[in-house]
Structure 1
Amino acid sequence: MLEAGEDPLYVARRIVRFASEDVGLADSKALGVAVDAYQACHFLGMPECSVHLTHAVVYMSMAPKSNALYLAYESAKSDALKQLAEPVPLVIRNAPTRLMKELGYGEGYKYAHNMKDKLADMQCLPDSLEGRQYYRPTEEGLEKKYKARLGEIKEWKSQMKGK
């Protein structure tokens, strides 16, 4: 593509997209490699940046693959477009004014960093979407750890509901 005259920044942008869409959290360093290649292309131009693009392409080709982030976004987007009129739960609404506080904005908000387990059990989605899961990690690369962590969080939430 480069030797045929394609803009190296176009190629770099496609690699950045690939890093999140096709590698995702299976190797979260992939996005950094891709962005670094884009910046090198922007800074150096051709022909110098060809090696940076090659670096990124080889990295992406060797990385474990997961499209779980892409699928999560598409699913959330679909729900958002169907539920445009759904209100944001009061608990996660900012309350910068006295009126908003009186209306219950932010009431019951739990700051995870202040909680014993560093988790907060709150309903953050509209009622019609409560319990919906968008991100479904795979067994690929680092996502295997994220999948295990998500399982721990689900177990914690079920224990909290039992209390």
Structure 2
Amino acid sequence: MIQQALEKDLDLKKIKVELVETDALLRISGGDGRKLLNLLEIVVDGINENPCLITNEKVMQIAQQKVALSQCRSLLAGKDDRGRRRCQIHRKKVGDIGIRRHRQCQSNALLLATNCFEAVKIIGYPESRIILSQCVTYLASSPKSNAAYLAINQAQAMVREKGDLSVPLHLRNAPTKLMKDLNYGKAYQYSHDFPGNFVIQEFLPDEIKGTKFYEPGDNAREAELRKYLSTKWKGKYGY
């Protein structure tokens, strides 16, 4: 496959490449043809000589310089691109990136990370390095908040402590007469029937009613959220 690539690839054909040793190429690529070809291109670019003499030592050196050996298998345009997965982690860990406004709009950090994730899958490395760079610098420079992270942790801890609590009766559907007789759905207030499409009512089980899980972080956007929640809930949760 390597020889075939050297003979048919338009860019590689321009350079005289001599495969002195191939063990490192095959070992790092793990037998994956696409990874092997991408690694070959990276190595040739890294050696930047004509003729280009490829040895195990040069391959290992360039692999360490370009992608760090510990990431080599995943970064070379494979299915588990390390940078792509890191952006995916940022996408999943919403608590790392604060809820914020950017030019009067909601932050698009999650959207950007998701698009980056998909783009890298399609384009592959090394071309995707620019996309990764743009996404990483955006995420890294975004205001940080762990408010959502703390909120979900507290909610999960509450579930573990209290177990499977009952849904309040007024929130339950009542498709049968028996359920109606048991007061399922009684006194439920439909938010869209009220000004601002909001109405104060309890959504938590009786055992934990009034519990506040989300505490807005210390940043401009979440300060706005705190003010909004305080206005809506009228002091119910101490915002």
TM over 0.5: yes
Counterpart CA distance in 1 for 2:175 and 2:211 is 29
2:39 aligns with: none
The yes-or-no answer on 1:46 pairing with 2:125 is yes
Q: Does the CA-based 8 Å contact 2:216-2:223 persist in structure 1? A: yes
Gaps of 5+ in 2: 1-63, 75-79, 102-106
The yes-or-no answer on 1:21 pairing with 2:112 is no
> 1:119: how far off?
1.4
TM-score by length of 2: 0.59
Change (3 A) 1:100 1:46: farther
Q: Does the CA-based 8 Å contact 1:90-1:106 persist in structure 2? A: yes
| Structure 1 residues 11-160: aligned runs within 5 Å | 11-18=86-93, 20-26=94-100, 28-155=107-234
> 1:109: how far off?
1.4
Q: Does the CA-based 8 Å contact 1:12-1:37 persist in structure 2? A: yes
Q: Which residue type is aligned with residue 3 of structure 1?
A: V
CA-atom RMSD, angstroms?
2.3
Q: Which residue type is aligned with residue 189 of structure 2?
A: K
Cα deviation 1:61-102 (Å, max 9, x = unaligned)? 111111100000000111111111321101112223333233
Question: Which is richer in strand?
Answer: 2
Question: Which structure is larger by alpha-carbon Rg, 1 or 2?
Answer: 2
> 1:120: how far off?
1.5
Identify the structure with bigger relative contact order (alpha carbons < 8 Å, sequence gap 6+): 1
Q: Does the CA-based 8 Å contact 1:24-1:30 persist in structure 2? A: no
Q: Which residue type is aligned with residue 23 of structure 1?
A: I
Q: Does the CA-based 8 Å contact 1:16-1:34 persist in structure 2? A: yes
TM-score by length of 1: 0.84
Q: What percent identity do the matched residue pairs reach?
A: 32
Counterpart CA distance in 2 for 1:134 and 1:156 is 15
Counterpart CA distance in 2 for 1:22 and 1:66 is 6
Q: Secondary structure at the match of 1:25?
A: coil
Q: Which residue type is aligned with residue 125 of structure 2?
A: M
Change (3 A) 1:134 1:156: closer
2:67 aligns with: 3
> 1:157: how far off?
5.5
Q: Secondary structure at the match of 1:52?
A: helix
Counterpart CA distance in 2 for 1:29 and 1:48 is 23
Q: Does the CA-based 8 Å contact 2:200-2:233 persist in structure 1? A: no
